[in-house]
Amino acid sequence: MTERDARAWMAKGRDESWPDGVFLEIATTFPDLWYENVHHRRLRSHIQALARGRDVLDAGCSTGLLCELALQSGARSVVGLDLGAERLEKARLRTRRYSPPARLEMADLQTAWPLDTAHIDLVVSSEVIEHLTPERRGFFVAEAYRVLRPGGTFLVTTPNVERWFTTTPVASGSWNPHQHWGELSQRELLALMQGGGFDAAVSYYRYPKVSAWIRRPGYERLADAVERLPPRRRLAMNLLGVGVRAIEEPSRHA
């Protein structure tokens, strides 16, 4: 398979539906193609820096890219949770050559996670929280806090609802995990993480092509001025939340 062939498969999306042989060949021969996805690229350096010797959970692991990255980075153990059986099967294919391989389980992240309390050092969740119903997001963050050991880290990426170029409709009707059930602003994501007990910070990041387009040489000041218009940072595309679990349990009293 050539890189051109691999890119043609990538353009189709839904890698969980590819033939196993195609999936494995691309995963092993052209792994960097997955990191052209800006969310994966944004998390790559964080996982590489934090995973070594630690127990890692990918909450919403899809086909296992970040599980594999954690294993490559020297994680002591890796758990991946996802609602899709096809995605989990591809994640097993991707990680089975590692010893130990990732532990992969089907789970609805809006309900209790199948993990013991204070069992994990690093929880990663990329482009998942916007797929949860708003009333269950606090529970999702609380579960991340519960499974983390004191001082553990929670990393989450999600679309920024305040960006100008959003075209994602808010879902309605019966819950469907493939739809967005309301995207978050920086302030909302920060409040959600802090409300769950995390010492958290949320930053913006852009798609590289968008960044290049809005910051053409000679127009940087204009881009800066536009981004100061309310609501702030509307040219920023996505959000990265980093939360650290308290060493001591914070007070839950009102």
State how far Cα 43 lies from the chain centre: 8
Beta-strand relationship, 77-82 and 103-106: parallel
Cα dihedral across residues 87, 93, 96, 97: positive or negative:
negative
Provide the residue type at 207 as one letter: Y
- Say if CB 120 and CB 51 are below 8 A apart: no
Which of 102, 15, 90 has the alpha carbon at shortest distance from 57? 102
pLDDT (mean) for 226-246: 77
Tell the residue number behind the tokens 């998942």, with chain if given: 128
* pLDDT for the residue numbered 182: 87
Sheet of 148-159: strand order equals 103-106, 77-82, 55-59, 120-126, 148-159, 238-244, 199-205
Banded pLDDT at 211 (limits 50, 70, 90):
low
* pLDDT for the residue numbered 221: 78
Q: What is the pTM of this model?
A: 0.88
Greatest C-alpha distance within the chain: 60
The share of the chain scoring above pLDDT 90, in percent, equals 69
**DSSP assignment string, 163-188:** -TT--PPPP-SS--TTS-S--B-HHH
pLDDT tens column, 30-61? 999 999 888 898 899 999 999 999 999 999 99
Whole-angstrom distance, CA of residue 210 vs CA of residue 163: 11
When the pLDDT of each residue in the chain is averaged and rounded to a whole number, the result is 89
Which of 208, 192, 68 has the alpha carbon at shortest distance from 130? 192
pLDDT (mean) for 187-197: 95
pLDDT tens column, 142-161? 999 999 999 999 999 999 88
Spelled out in words, what is the top-level CATH class assigned to the domain 36-244? alpha beta
